[in-house]
Structure 1
């Protein structure tokens, strides 16, 4: 790709010192999902077509070559497995320990179950469907269950959350709640306790041993038409005492909470972000998998911003990012793409501290290993 302006040239020169690695790939259609299926592989899927590709991609081998990068010619993503979904893929999760992913779309209430293939086949095949109890609901959010048999927690409204086995379709749990708000995210705290984030910022805590949920609404002065959340935990079986919840609004408000006191966030601040995405559909906050106290946000524009929350408090001033990935903006070609790209999603590598992936509305997908100049690493 050509980099056209002087500003872009400056960024390209600067990137030689701010990135350990930066690899750029172009999908035929953009994706809203980046889901890890292994330490070196991800699943992506299109969200805006009649036949939407689902792909498992192998990350560039050069990323793992270390000091021997000169001996590794492979710099690109490689398609490992592929298939097609008849509906747009808005949400996709991998079931840990399996070669199975589950997807949902905005035009249907059903969830699709997929076998993403093995060494004997390069085809991703649909193997089943899950029909939620509320057949009029659209856009289900999904979280993998931490049960002995593969299961998913799913729902589009806060009062229609279910835990359902994949193999049998058996409903293991259903919430009972008077609150009926659209769901922006689901996460398990441990094997039984889970969190629901409503689009209006309300948090609900549920337990698969009890159909009732506890509600923790926002205070009235917190603005923002849409909220998302991210959960930091040390392991899949972690206790609430070692978890931290980050909530982010479309107006840039950020709140950090301890699950033991969800009504009173221990930090509230507002990020200096530009909001160019009208629908708020790409809003994303994610905790680093390995680095302590680091989180990242995207969905406002063509950047991914990384923050260190170590010194954040209840009266924290507007924080400054310790790193900003501007690559989707810099590689943007106006004559081909029209409007400037917005980052649709991003994800931290599960074991490499400073490695992230990000995707944008122009179909670009980047994997990048950034240099933290605040610690000189």
Structure 2
């Protein structure tokens, strides 16, 4: 029996998507991106990661995505460029400073940061306005960042757990330095409040730090230091949880009031994709901001998986996704059957629309999608 061709696979997925998506919009960037950062409820920032000159764009989402009524499938290039500029190096990470028109970037190679003004009423040009000198030459990757706007815009940044700084962007002065002798590489930084942050390390260790006190940071040791770990934190009014995912697919849910313990666990499917494509980059895990007990994961394959944590138990049993977005893999194989399938390089949830996500892939595709609730079953 003849194997189905890529055109047939794409056709089958397109028919399937009519039932499984409320909305699906496809946009082709001129460059692949590793960053999708919200700058408002309607706009995002993306940027290229080539080693030379790269575009940095602020895009407005398709109007249909923002409308209250969503009907049918719409695959058209209807993102709108709002502001744009150029970076003379790679953009491996980008953080928007809440409440401002500022963004901070890092190239993934050094610990230095670049500060950008995203344009506004008088200009549609994104311009670089300042630099922040990092703590040391980066070992094994660039700086990790988190931004906050308390009395003034500030950015938390560092390469290792022992060199984290909080820098005020208006002056470039450090207003806090983490006093720790640990030299674990960071995988992410998270503000729990304006004064408290969490520093997560690649080996699974993480530190909870209160900048208001001279007390040393609280260290939680890894459950499996031989694996790589990634983390996200949910800090709603009645929700203080963190989720950790390892390179072996182990997922651990903890309460921030007792971070060393495990409320529940699961084993996520990993497959062979990361072994076949060692350059896939990091795994990304994100809490859904408005959908109860849901997380999203990318980096184990070319897809984005959605999981409900309500079915997880005290031991890590196999987890089945509620939904999988396979559009990047299918469309890239259909476009060029001889090329490797695209891998997801970034994804984010919409801050208010419960089932809406954006995802980007190594072929430059950018998707915004909203899946039907009926697809969960």
Fold match, TM over 0.5?
yes
Can you list the C-alpha shifts for 1:8-52, whole angstroms capped at 9, x where unaligned? 322211110110000011111111110000111100111123001
Does the alignment pair 1:174 with 2:177? yes
Does the alignment pair 1:285 with 2:293? no
Task: Tell me the equivalent position of 2:327.
Answer: 327
Could you tell me how far apart the structure 2 residues matched to 1:273 and 1:5 are? 27
Correspondence 1:14-53 to 2 at 5 A: 14-53=16-55
Q: Is the 8 A contact 2:26 2:75 kept in 1?
A: no
- Given candidates 214, 219, 235, the residue that maps to 1:215 is 219
TM-score under structure 2 length normalisation: 0.91
Structure 2 residue runs of 5 or longer lacking an equivalent are none
Q: Is the 8 A contact 1:203 1:262 kept in 2?
A: no
Task: Report SS of the residue matched to 1:62.
Answer: helix
Q: Structure 1 stretch 306-315 or stretch 5-14: which is displaced more?
A: 5-14
Q: Is the 8 A contact 1:207 1:213 kept in 2?
A: yes
Could you tell me how far apart the structure 2 residues matched to 1:131 and 1:223 are? 32
Task: Tell me the equivalent position of 1:59.
Answer: 61
RMSD between aligned residues = 2.2
Q: Is the 8 A contact 1:146 1:190 kept in 2?
A: no
Could you tell me how far apart the structure 2 residues matched to 1:273 and 1:251 are? 7
TM-score under structure 1 length normalisation: 0.91
Does the alignment pair 1:191 with 2:194? yes
Correspondence 1:260-271 to 2 at 5 A: 260-271=257-268
Return the offset for 1:337.
Answer: 7.7
CA distance change for structure 1 residues 25 and 136 in 2, over 3 Å: closer, same or farther? closer
Task: Tell me the equivalent position of 2:99.
Answer: 97
Return the offset for 1:135.
Answer: 4.7
User: Number of matched residues?
Assistant: 366
Task: Tell me the equivalent position of 1:273.
Answer: 270
Could you tell me how far apart the structure 1 residues matched to 2:271 and 2:83 are? 37
Q: Is the 8 A contact 2:56 2:86 kept in 1?
A: yes
- Given candidates 140, 148, 153, the residue that maps to 2:151 is 148
Could you tell me how far apart the structure 1 residues matched to 2:70 and 2:10 are? 29
Q: Is the 8 A contact 1:228 1:248 kept in 2?
A: yes
Q: Is the 8 A contact 2:187 2:230 kept in 1?
A: yes
Return the offset for 1:84.
Answer: 1.0
Return the offset for 1:119.
Answer: 2.3
Return the offset for 1:73.
Answer: 12
CA distance change for structure 1 residues 88 and 336 in 2, over 3 Å: closer, same or farther? farther
Could you tell me how far apart the structure 2 residues matched to 1:189 and 1:67 are? 34
Return the offset for 1:316.
Answer: 4.5
Return the offset for 1:223.
Answer: 4.9
Q: Is the 8 A contact 2:323 2:375 kept in 1?
A: no
Can you list the C-alpha shifts for 1:200-238, whole angstroms capped at 9, x where unaligned? 111111111235212111234x652x211111121xxx5
CA distance change for structure 1 residues 68 and 162 in 2, over 3 Å: closer, same or farther? closer
Return the offset for 1:242.
Answer: 2.6
Q: Is the 8 A contact 1:61 1:74 kept in 2?
A: no
Structure 1 residue runs of 5 or longer lacking an equivalent are none
Could you tell me how far apart the structure 1 residues matched to 2:40 and 2:280 are? 29
